[in-house]
Amino acid sequence: MSWPANVTRTYQNHTIDSTRWRGFEPRGGDVIVTTSYKSGTTWTLGLLYQIVALKEGMTPPPMDYWLDARMFPVDLEQQLAELAAMPHRRVLKSHLAADGLPIWPDVRYVVVGRDPRDVFMSLVNHYEQFTDIAYAAFNETPGRVGDPMPRYDGDVHALWRNWMTRGWFDWESEGWPMWGNMHHIATWWPLRNHPNVLFMHYADLKTDLPAQIQRLARFIGIDLTAEEIAAVTAASSIDAMREGAIAAGDPLAGFFRDGARGFFFKGTNQRWRSVLSEEELGLYEAAKTRLLPADCARWLEQGAHASAAAAD
């Protein structure tokens, strides 16, 4: 299959390498969940695993198929071989913007958004949980392009300033030391009405999870009964996901100081209100104005509530 023309940039740093997608052979019906980070990626993947398991006999993988991840112990050839051998629909993860991830017409893309201020608070927890093993994976895995991942020094205010005003890549102006958060959603926003693209929002998952499960299932062509939706809902709380990961041997323990307990932290919104000053929030307003169309910014802050308010 030819390489899609939408890929106009290459993303390579301590964590991601967009060129790793060149070995992937897509199939009709494949689903790729794409977020910047800390926006409900794992939650959405878990929902998809359960939905496909109910109808197509999928066995949820021990780790997500995240092809753009370049760190050990992720072996690209092994992942591609496992994906090629799967008899059922494949569900994959990506953190790439729409100008770096191939978009095939027969593949479905689920784009998940979250208020950037909430993303930041979740990122702080994530960052301070990284272990020496994690930093070795980021910085010592052969093939790293660019500077190493810097260690978090505990200064939340300095991190916020850098995250709001510095880009890791030359074409980004926020997101350091990861990659652009608002840049990611800005690249996907023009595709929001494409038939193979579904936009979901973290706040909507929190507000009405059964309705979002139904949306997600219908998008990938699966009908769920009320009983099946209830079962997926019950298995998808943050507590259930945390305990499930621990029961599976806690594969997150090497990368995160508190393992699954650190990765699946609180999942709450608006913690930034007690942390960031008005001056610091002004940096967010400037970045939002610089990077996002007004309707995109409303949606990113509020989810479906923004659309409802605009219609009133």
3-state secondary structure of 128: helix
- Distance, in Å, from the CA atom of 253 to the CA atom of 259, rounded to the nearest integer, reads 4
What count of Cα atoms within 13 Å lies in the side-chain half-sphere of residue 206? 17
> Distances in Å between the alpha carbon of 134 and those of 73, 80, 163, 257, 311?
10, 23, 20, 10, 46
What count of Cα atoms within 13 Å lies in the side-chain half-sphere of residue 26? 21
38: left (phi over 0), alpha (psi -120 to 50) or beta: left
Structure confidence by residue, pLDDT tens digits, 204-215: 998 999 999 999
DSSP summary character for residue 71: S
**Secondary structure tally for the chain: helices H, strands E:** 14, 4
User: What residues contact 149, with CB distance under 8 A and at least 6 apart?
Assistant: 14, 15, 135, 138, 139, 177
Check pLDDT > 70 for residue 251. no
Structure confidence by residue, pLDDT tens digits, 170-182: 999 999 999 999 9
Q: Which residue ranges make up each domain of the chain?
A: 18-311
Structure confidence by residue, pLDDT tens digits, 34-90: 999 999 998 999 999 999 998 887 777 777 899 999 987 678 999 999 999 998 889
* Residue-level pLDDT at 63: 78
- Distance, in Å, from the CA atom of 164 to the CA atom of 139, rounded to the nearest integer, reads 23
Check pLDDT > 70 for residue 311. no
What burial class does residue 25 get, using C-beta atoms within 10 Å of its C-beta: 0-12 exposed, 13-18 middle, 19+ buried? exposed
**Amino acid, single-letter form, for residue 241:** M
DSSP summary character for residue 176: T
The separation between CA 296 and the C-alpha centre of its own chain, rounded to angstroms, equals 17
The alpha-carbon radius of gyration of the chain (Å, integer) is 19
Counted residue by residue, the chain has a size of 312
Fold of 18-311: Rossmann fold (3.40.50)
Q: Of 37-46, 213-222, 245-254, give the lowest mean pLDDT range.
A: 245-254
* Residue-level pLDDT at 59: 79
Structure confidence by residue, pLDDT tens digits, 99-125: 999 999 999 999 999 999 999 999 998
Check pLDDT > 50 for residue 246. no
- The pTM for the full model equals 0.90
* Residue-level pLDDT at 252: 58
> Distances in Å between the alpha carbon of 24 and those of 18, 60, 102, 300?
11, 19, 10, 30
